[in-house]
Structure 1
Amino acid sequence: MHRAHRITDPSYELMDDHEGMSVIYRQHGFPCPLVRWHFHKEYELHLIVASTGKVFIGDYIGHFGPGSLFLTGPNLPHNWISQVADGEVVPRRDMLVNFTDALIEEGGQVFSELKSLAPMLERAQYGIEFRDPRLIAEATVLMQRIEDSRGGSRLGWFMILMELLAGSDAYGLLSATSAAQLADDSNVERTNRAVDYIFSHYGRELPLEEVAEHLNMKPTYFSRVFKQATGRCFVEFVNRLRISKACELLTDSERPVTEVCFASGFNNISNFNRRFQQLKGMTPSDYRRLAVQRLTDQRALA
């Protein structure tokens, strides 16, 4: 039995614990009050240490596991929800490094080398997932050194980490919608509750009216608020979540495609195949073959 931890804390995260430091390091487990659909002015480099689940960045929905590494730009809404058993606690799930535009922009006026980071930070407004296992392994070591250091040493390790990430071309851009279009404090909190509810129930028939009722909102108003906050209409959001689950099952199991269809929340195999083709540009069987080949290639490089 799996569940998503329900969180209803404020959606805008104010980081008032800088303590005079330019680079903030944090880590937390799951469940945790920080796990919610939220945004903040800082960039966030987010490394998953333990557990698997779904990542939501802007209008993107994907799968995460240990070793997943993401960079989100200022005010880009995001959340990582682990799939855990009832009562299960993950003591240390995330390692996070936060920093502001001011650090890079003002620092760049003194140190011209920092200007080389600009293209990566520009891409971060849509969210970035780094996909090179060797780079992620190096980044993990550097994030640990950031945790263990203070002062100039922390800043030095941070700059080495940023240079490493900026030099990689093994990444994917995630959200089709930028932060400027999504960050709305008045709507994101309600969307947090909606995403939490959808995540808990998307494996069955889930009408928009049910979610709207859960939030004590009129269906038409909920539909408008939800699309404004996520960049997707309700049906498309749910279908993307289900297709993401299907991709996970196709990659990590040998279950027949028909079984994957129903296990991911679809009740019609033809609709499942059509939606999968639309979103992934290939059939579920072709996706499985490519996923297996990718895993084989990664193991050969390791």
Structure 2
Amino acid sequence: MAKKRKMKMEFRYYQMQDGSPILALLGEKWEQNYGRDVDFLHFHNYLEIGYCYSGAGELVLGEETVRFAGREFTIIPPNFPHTTTSDIGNISKWEYLFIDVEGFLANAAGTPLRAEKMVQRIYSKAFCLKECEYKSLSDKILKILDIMRGGEEFYLEEAKGILLALLAEVARLNRSSQEENIEEKGKITNMIARSIDYISQYYMEDIRIGDLAKASHISETHFRRVFTSYMHMSPLEYINKVRIQTACEILKKTDEPISDIAYKCGFTTNSTFNRNFHQLMGMSPAEWRKRPENYEQQLLKFDIHSEKGW
């Protein structure tokens, strides 16, 4: 029996200019009939914010299809399957911002815990929102688009200031009722914040969960339970996540030997590094370095085709 053929999915990746967390796609090129001869979804390596000035059509956001029209905007996390299709004969005008959320918040959000929390919230879902109902968000998006278009002196510093406010608002928008209850009951503790900060500074060393628990003045069993409840992963899983994320940055930016990177990120053996890397990223470090597609688990059922963004 022949294998069922995988559905096509396209990975469109963008590269940021050095020192900038924002890539703006502006101008007449984005005034067109979208979706011509396209029967597949795509995803990106950065958060995509799109603003629709005019036109009408359909947006596919994962498994949901919604109508769009002028004066609406989208917020779509990285690795989230989507596509835009204009109505037949309709010209739609969009402009886009691609945002390196994790890189930006790592420097702008204060502590690693706060940055991690904001990233999780921002990436939790995709939106298509009306300007009239979310004017504060819309105004910030339009302001950043205008700043990037103008390119005046210190434009990037100005855009970054507004971007932080925009991302904070999106994070609040995605606040779940479960998180509200946790905060109201006081279960988000300084203990977790201290542990996250310690891991972010000493991930390259031999971090023992018992030592983190001892520093928090609770038993190791209780520490594991509280940490996992808040972070939705075990302490060891979080340590390995930090290590692998750091390794990805080094793989992407240098040609250092993989064995050296493994040691630098806190792994004592190559086999342990390779196993954890494959578990988190879905491929080996060598494969990731050649083709850095950080797609999520649900995308593995598709036939992924890479295409550099327009």
Q: Which has the higher strand share?
A: 2
Into which bin does the TM-score normalised by the smaller protein fall? 0.3 to 0.5
Which of the two has higher C-alpha Rg? 2
TM-score by length of 2: 0.45
